[in-house]
């Protein structure tokens, strides 16, 4: 009922406004303000008429909805509250992650310190182990070096004794005996053969440099003996071990040239040595 009364009054006012507008009014300083007030009133009337006609056309009661500003404000406030709570949770998680990260960094630094210390200790132990191994090798070499033997006065007896050492597998004493023989009897006809057997004892213990020297002394002059082809082959193999392939290939060429009737076993090993030396 109140809404209908308000609308009726608005309509009456709108009807009266044109009449008032036609009545001449005295001019005064308030004309401009009066015009603006009238314009505002006309706008309100037009809006009210629109509402009335809308109700008449649709047949439905006109309900003027109050502004939902307060509800929207409440909704926005709730959303802001939710965002603040979420932000607080995120901040808390960030603080926890930062704390965990700091702890992980400290643990990593401590682990690196321990690792560096262990590596230093390991390097020191490896150095000590290397020194001990070197000392052990040197001690073994000293132990293997045969003590000088007093050779028999008879060269034949001395050679026979040295040969027996070799047959018994006593390479240390055999080496010492043959070395004593070539030292004491360098001009004896058996001296080249003694050098050959001396080279054998040296070759067995991988003293390739000394072995090559002994074999070279044995084949000097290219003696035509049963052991000469094997001595020449052993010389080439010692040169291969000493990483002198060119010299080894030349020695093998001389083997084929000087001893064309060498035993098949020597010829076979010579062929494999050529492959090892990469001879042309």
Highest mean pLDDT among 24-28, 68-72, 97-101, 137-141: 97-101
Cα–Cα–Cα angle for 187, 189, 192, nearest 5°? 85
The answer as to whether 81 is a domain residue is no
The domain containing residue 101 runs over which residues?
92-144
My answer on whether 269 and 162 are in the same domain is: yes
Q: Phi first, then psi: what are they for 260, rounded to 5°?
A: -65, -20
Q: Phi first, then psi: what are they for 67, rounded to 5°?
A: -60, 140
The answer as to whether 14 is a domain residue is yes
> Using alpha carbons only, how large is the chain's radius of gyration in Å?
60
Are 177 and 151 in contact, with CB atoms under 8 Å apart? yes
Percent of the chain exceeding pLDDT 70 equals 70
Predicted confidence (pLDDT) per residue in 38-81, tens digit = 777 777 777 777 766 666 666 666 555 554 566 667 777 788 88
Binned at pLDDT 50, 70 and 90, residue 19 comes out as very low
Burial class (CB in 10 A: 0-12, 13-18, 19+), 25: exposed
The answer as to whether 65 is a domain residue is no
Binned at pLDDT 50, 70 and 90, residue 123 comes out as confident
Q: Could you tell me which residues come within 8 angstroms of residue 198 by beta carbon, excluding any fewer than 6 positions away?
A: 175, 178, 179, 182, 214
Query: When comparing pLDDT for 51 and 180, which is higher?
Result: 180
Distance CA 20, CA 6 (A): 20
The answer as to whether 79 is a domain residue is no
My answer on whether 170 and 106 are in the same domain is: no
What total number of domains does the chain contain?
3
Distance CA 10, CA 25 (A): 23
My answer on whether 163 and 202 are in the same domain is: yes
In terms of pTM, does the model score above 0.75? no
């Amino acid at each position: 009922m109140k809404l209908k009364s308000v609308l009726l009054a608005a309509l009456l006012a709108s009807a009266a406004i044109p009449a008032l507008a036609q009545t001449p009014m005295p001019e005064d300083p308030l004309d401009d303000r009066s015009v603006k007030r009238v314009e505002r009133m006309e706008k309100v009337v037009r809006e009210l008429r629109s509402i009335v006609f809308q109700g008449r056309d649709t047949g439905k009661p006109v309900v003027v909805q109050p502004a939902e500003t307060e509800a929207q404000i409440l909704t926005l406030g709730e959303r802001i509250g939710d965002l603040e709570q979420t932000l607080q949770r995120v901040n808390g998680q960030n603080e926890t992650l930062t704390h965990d990260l700091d702890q992980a960094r400290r643990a990593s630094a401590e682990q690196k310190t321990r690792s560096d210390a262990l590596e230093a200790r390991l390097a020191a132990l490896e150095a000590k182990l290397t020194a001990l191994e070197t000392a052990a090798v040197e001690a073994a070499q000293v132990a293997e070096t045969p003590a000088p033997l007093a050779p028999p006065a008879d060269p034949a007896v001395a050679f026979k004794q040295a040969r027996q050492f070799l047959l018994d597998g006593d390479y240390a004493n055999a080496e010492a005996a043959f070395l004593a023989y070539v030292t004491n009897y360098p001009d004896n006809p058996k001296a080249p053969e003694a050098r050959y057997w001396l080279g054998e004892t040296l070759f067995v213990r991988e003293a390739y440099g000394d072995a090559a020297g002994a074999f070279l002394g044995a084949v000097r002059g290219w003696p035509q003996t049963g052991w000469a082809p094997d001595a020449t082959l052993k010389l080439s193999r010692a040169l291969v071990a000493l990483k002198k392939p060119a010299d080894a290939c030349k020695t093998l060429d001389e083997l084929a040239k000087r001893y064309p009737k060498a035993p098949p076993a020597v010829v076979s090993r010579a062929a494999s040595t050529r492959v090892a030396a990469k001879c042309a």
